[in-house]
Amino acid sequence: MDLEALNKVARAMVAPGKGILAADESSGTIKKRFDAIGVESTEDNRRDYREMMFRTAAAMQNNISGVILYDETIWQNAKDGTPLVKIIEAAGSIPGIKVDEGTQAIPGYPGELITVGLDKLAARLAKYYEQGARFAKWRAVIDISSGIPTSYAIAANCQALARYAALCQAAQIVPIVEPEVLMDGDHDIDRCYDVTKATLIKLYQELYDARVALEGTVLKPNMVIAGKKCPKQASTAEIAEKTVKLFKQTVPVAVPGIAFLSGGQSDEQATANLDAMNKLGGLPWGLTFSYGRALQAAPQKAWSGKAENVTAGQKAFAHRALMNGLASKGEWTAAAEKAA
């Protein structure tokens, strides 16, 4: 393992003003998104949509440090025959790959899930590296409901994340470690705080035990936020204050950066919350974004599967990338949102 090279990639992934585009939707997820805009989810349509984003020069060069790809996408060529990976690289961005294979129910633990895909992962990582991937992503799902999560479910998922991360580093690939505490329930912000804290403490214990070099990793967590069904939603200021407080307690300073997931927040909410955290200042690591929906909802709608709408789709994508780039430096304002 060349830790210096891994650290260089990890630092580039969280460079000031830049963040990560999560374009790794599974076939089922992208179909749901396409259904919402009346577009058939064919291989060509999926390719054309993603190519539209990867060829948005303003966004890719200035605000997108890396792109998480799905297995289908990393092998695809653009309409003109250029590999999509090469288009990403040419823009100065880093290709990455989602390597987990989804979730399964944990026997004996109703309502709790474990992420799978460790079998034969070493062989898959070698092929992805050859194809140009320099980082990977694995998502663990921690749900909050009555009686859950259990400590067993948290431990099982954190151990899987650590095993994945160790395999990535052995393959000279930077692991994005993603323990997502879901915001789907009716829990308040304090419950999210407690569960996220327990998860991160366990995660870093497991990463240490697996001998993962933290300097060659990026953390992709949820923000500390109330569940969507909670009657009392926290303010942007409270979300920022509690998230930063918790991460200072749990995330080692050796980690180069934290790239938040949006987790179902609206476009502007995800941007405003990230900006508020960076405005607090005095952070030992970079705080940026690794958004899927919060970067893509607007360009998807603007494009709507029509070739004549590519420019409009690219404009919408460039706008969201720029807004989040500003937020990653604590320079976003609601006025900038409207002006642009």
Percent of the chain scoring above 90 in pLDDT: 95
Question: Does 178 participate in catalysis according to the annotation?
Answer: yes
Residue range 143-163, pLDDT digits in tens: 999 999 999 999 999 999 999
Alpha-carbon gap, residue 96 to 99, rounded angstroms: 10
Predicted pLDDT at 264:
87
**β pairing state of 135-142 and 113-115:** unpaired
Question: Would you say 271 and 231 are in contact if contact means Cβ atoms under 8 Å apart?
Answer: no
Output the domain CATH number for residue 204.
3.20.20.70
Range of the domain at 99: 3-339
Cβ neighbours of 82 (radius 10 Å): 14
Whether 127 has a pLDDT exceeding 70, the answer reads yes
Whether 336 has a pLDDT exceeding 90, the answer reads no
Question: Does 306 participate in catalysis according to the annotation?
Answer: no
Q: 93 in the Ramachandran plot: left (φ > 0), alpha (ψ -120 to 50) or beta?
A: beta
Q: Give residue 196's Cα distance to chain centre.
A: 16
Residue range 70-106, pLDDT digits in tens: 999 999 999 999 999 999 999 999 999 999 999 999 9
Predicted pLDDT at 340:
59
Give me the phi and psi of 99, to 5 degrees please. Answer: -115, -10
Average pLDDT over residues 215-221: 98
Alpha-carbon gap, residue 70 to 139, rounded angstroms: 13
**Selected catalytic residue, list 25, 51, 112, 178:** 178
Determine whether 235 is exposed, middle or buried from the number of CB atoms within 10 Å of its CB (0-12, 13-18, 19+).
exposed
Of 201, 191, 172, 291, whose CA–CA distance to 242 is shortest? 191
Predicted pLDDT at 122:
98
Place of tokens 């974004």: 289
Any bridge partners for residue 291, and if so which?
21
Average pLDDT over residues 275-301: 95
Predicted pLDDT at 339:
67
Cβ neighbours of 104 (radius 10 Å): 10
Whether 338 has a pLDDT exceeding 90, the answer reads no
Q: Structurally, how many domains does the chain consist of?
A: 1
**Contact residues for 3 (Cβ-Cβ < 8 A; gap 6+):** 213, 215, 216
Of 258, 192, 257, whose CA–CA distance to 221 is shortest? 258
Question: Would you say 85 and 142 are in contact if contact means Cβ atoms under 8 Å apart?
Answer: no
Give me the phi and psi of 32, to 5 degrees please. Answer: -60, -40
**Selected catalytic residue, list 18, 98, 202, 220:** 220
The end-to-end CA distance of the chain, in Å, is 44
What's the mean per-residue pLDDT of the chain? 96
Average pLDDT over residues 165-187: 97
